[in-house]
Structure 1
Amino acid sequence: MALPVFIIVLIAALFHATWNTVVKKNDDRTLFMALLVACGGMGAVVTLPFLDIPAKESWPYIALSVLLHNGYYLFLIAAYKYGDLSHVYPLARGSAPLIVAAVSVFIVGEQLSQLAWIAIIIMAIGIMSLSITRNSQNLRNPTAVFCALGTGMFIAGYTVTDGIGGRLAGDVHSYAGWMMALDGFPIIAYLALRRGRGIVADCRPIWKPALVGGLLSLAAYWAVIWAMSVAPIALVAAVRETSIIFALLFGVFFLKERLSLTQLCAIFMTLLGTVLLKLNRP
């Protein structure tokens, strides 16, 4: 992975961590995340007049990606229902790079060196180890674990789908814009049907931070889709998951959370894996 691409993916990871920290601070995470996704979708809509129509070969991937993204939102909401964010989210994010690597090699046909595999495994273990804390009884709940791993499957699914679809679109930016414009509205429509007219009043106090988070999310994933068009999907997916380390550090410095020995080890392993990925040569 070229250095400029590597840096852009790290910046995307930073943006991703920022909006996740904003979600974590909100009491009604389900509504806030749905509004955030909708705001990101509206931001993408604004870009459409300046973009070409994606090549017809990419439209099945756009449709599949929208479906997988919304499956991810629903599974993540369920994971939050049955387990704590600090336990289920690292399990979901840490499992995704391993799944992406396996799919990209054995199905897509990309090549990964032995060092790249080692780096991805180290990063995945480091991230998933964040689930292991003194209060990790949620991980003994099979429903919470199922939802967390299901979330990881959906993350891997839309990552590989967007990696391939962006390459087929003719212009990767047109793919990103159209996919994210269409992605933004099913989840808010689902919540509107469940909550009725009261959703407008519920959204009023949170729309400003949701808008900021949505635009950060839009910029972050747009950059990732572009990166997957010029670098191996598995490597981009792995570097993107450094976002969880940024989120952990934000928690320490801005939310006044304490840093445990397990978390320090997770940071070290993730950073080690990131360095190994940068040293990797095809």
Structure 2
Amino acid sequence: MFSYTGGVVLFAAVLHASWNAMLHGNRDRFLSMTWMSISIGVVSTLVVMSLPLPPAAAWPYIVASGLVHIVYNVSLVRSYKRGDLAQAYPIARGSSPLLVTLGAALFAHEAIGPLHAAGVVLISGGIMALALQGGQVSRAGALAAFTTGVTIAIYTVIDGIGVRKSEGDALAYTAWMFLFYWIMPLLFAAQRGVKALWTPILDAPMSVGSSVIGGLVSIAAYGIVIWAMQAGAMGAVSALRETSVVFAALIGRMFLRESVSVKRWLACVVVAAGAVCLGM
């Protein structure tokens, strides 16, 4: 699946790593996620106004995916309150391709060859090896990360099936699904009040700005993934997307001056080998 589609998905992985790096310095994850969701909602609203409605067969998947994405966002925000999640979170990114491959086989009767299966395993294993370095992950942190991985797998399989029922209109499917992100500011306002949402525009404009940009980058990143799943195997596409964890490590080394141990480099090599398997 590599060629053009695989290269585009790898680009999506870079985008995914990039918006995570932009949001790295924002301490209030709930606020950041909310402003990111607002920017996604605005773009989606503008897009759906100029596109025809998706086919009726795609709507159950659009609604289900949109709601699962909100559950994922809330779960991720809550998980970030645990001090060890920054180390355990790659478990979510590493476990989701395996879960997506299983879900695609069960619900979409999708099968991949031995070489691509090996690629999925190598990428998942390499990412989890990255997660387990630098100290022991607590049981609570690992459970939170794995739960996040389950939600990632659920919405990925839903979108993989749903976009194939959209009759080739991946853009309309993606835009209507992302409209559900308007739920996030409603949840934020219900918990903290409307003032807590708007005050940071003046008090912390850089933080709000990075979140808005992160939302724009993230909608492009996952939009590419949905487009790729129209024809590519869900597990393989998911595995290539999760190489973003490796790109995040490289970005941290090159731009944030974070140290990368030999073991981390070896884990990155394993992930790269998995990507090569998916490209053959």
Query: If the length of structure 2 is used for normalisation, what is the TM-score?
Result: 0.94
Unaligned runs of 5+ in 1: none
Residues 130-145 of structure 1 mapped to structure 2, 5 A cutoff: 130-136=130-136, 139-140=137-138, 142-145=139-142
Aligned to 2:172: 174
Asked if the contact 2:126/2:268 (under 8 Å) is kept, the reply is yes
Deviations 1:68-104 (A, max 9, x none): 1111112212221124343121011100000001111
Letter in structure 2 aligned against 1:150? T
CA RMSD of aligned residues (A): 1.4
- Distance in structure 2 (CA, Å) of the matches to 1:110 and 1:161: 13
In structure 2, what is the Cα distance between the partners aligned to 1:174 and 1:68? 18
In 1, Cα distance between equivalents of 2:253 and 2:140: 29
Q: Deviations over 1:197-242 (max 9, x none)?
A: 2221124422322221111111111111010002111111110011
> Would you identify which runs of 4 or more consecutive aligned residues in structure 1 move more than 6 Å?
none
2:93 match: 93
TM-score by length of 1: 0.93
**Distance in 1 (alpha carbons) for counterparts of 2:196 and 2:2:** 49
Secondary structure of the structure 2 residue equivalent to 1:230:
coil
Query: 1:38, 1:158 → 2: CA distance?
Result: 20
Determine the structure 2 residue equivalent to 1:229: 230
Q: Which residue of 1 aligns with 2:216?
A: 215
In 1, Cα distance between equivalents of 2:141 and 2:2: 38
Cα 1:219–1:134 change in 2 (3 A) is closer
Instruction: Determine the structure 2 residue equivalent to 1:54.
Output: 54
Q: How much has 1:179 moved relative to structure 2? A: 0.7
* Bigger mean CA offset, 125-134 vs 236-245: 125-134
Alignment of 1:34-73 (within 5 A): 34-73=34-73
Give 1:157's aligned residue. 154
Of residues 159, 173, 182, the one that matches 1:185 is: 182
Deviation for aligned residue 1:143 = 2.3
Matched-pair contact (CA < 8 Å) for 1:9–1:240: yes
Q: Distance in 2 between matches of 1:98 and 1:17?
A: 20
Give the direction of change, closer, same or farther, for the CA distance of 1:2–1:52 in structure 2 (3 Å limit).
farther
Alignment CA distance shift 1:267-1:2 (3 Å): closer
Amino acid of the residue matched to residue 8 of structure 1? V
**Structure with greater proportional helix content:** 1
Contact persistence 2:72–2:152 (CA under 8 A): yes
Question: CA shift at 1:50, angstroms?
Answer: 2.3
Distance 1:36 1:202, change over 3 A: same
User: How many corresponding residue pairs?
Assistant: 275
Q: Secondary structure at the match of 1:229?
A: coil
Asked if the contact 1:16–1:217 (Cα under 8 Å) also holds between the matched residues in 2, the reply is: yes
Quote the offset at 1:132 in angstroms: 1.5
